[in-house]
Structure 1
Amino acid sequence: MVQQHIVKVWERAGRFEDVQRLEEGGVDVKVWDCNRGEEFVLVLKKHVSTDCYVFCGNWRSQFVSPRGLNKGDEIGLFWCNYSHSFFFSVLPRAPAQPSV
């Protein structure tokens, strides 16, 4: 999805250096948190060996931990070409696991 919805948009916008840096150290990207009304900076990086894109930097401390996100929780994330940033929101949460 990143390849189709972000990388291709960046290429059309002439951001070839950023596309190349994805496979190197990563690219600093702004992320607007729609739930909290705050902006953060993370690093978007492609792991070449697995062909997966990940957020690095403070992803866990700024997004996962403060919200108590768990496996199965759904998030919304889209790239806005006008603001050159991602917009992030927590969507439906996974059902709570029963206590044993």
Structure 2
Amino acid sequence: MANKQGWVSLGFYGTGTLWIENGGTVVSEVGALATGGSGAGQQAGNATAIIAGDGSSWTLTGTFHIGGYGTGTLKSAPAAKWMREHRRLI
């Protein structure tokens, strides 16, 4: 289990991928996918978070940002969970 009391940020100015699988769990305060690239000459980000497999989950205790200036994708396979506070996407 990865437990981060801060941000999990992917693809801020480049490309990032997060795989959570095989019962893996991530707990973070904030999640951000492809949120950078707003200034002159800055590259827009691209990010994908994939949650797959029985018991796999990403729990956010704060906010979730996706695709601010780039392309962000969240994929959740059957039996995986994405949770923000008390809301769930299963």
In our comparison, the structure showing a higher alpha carbon Rg is 1
Structure number with the higher helix fraction is 1
Q: Which has the higher contact order (CA 8 A, sep 6+)?
A: 2
Q: State TM-score, norm by structure 1.
A: 0.23
Q: State TM-score, norm by structure 2.
A: 0.24
Structure number with the higher strand fraction is 2
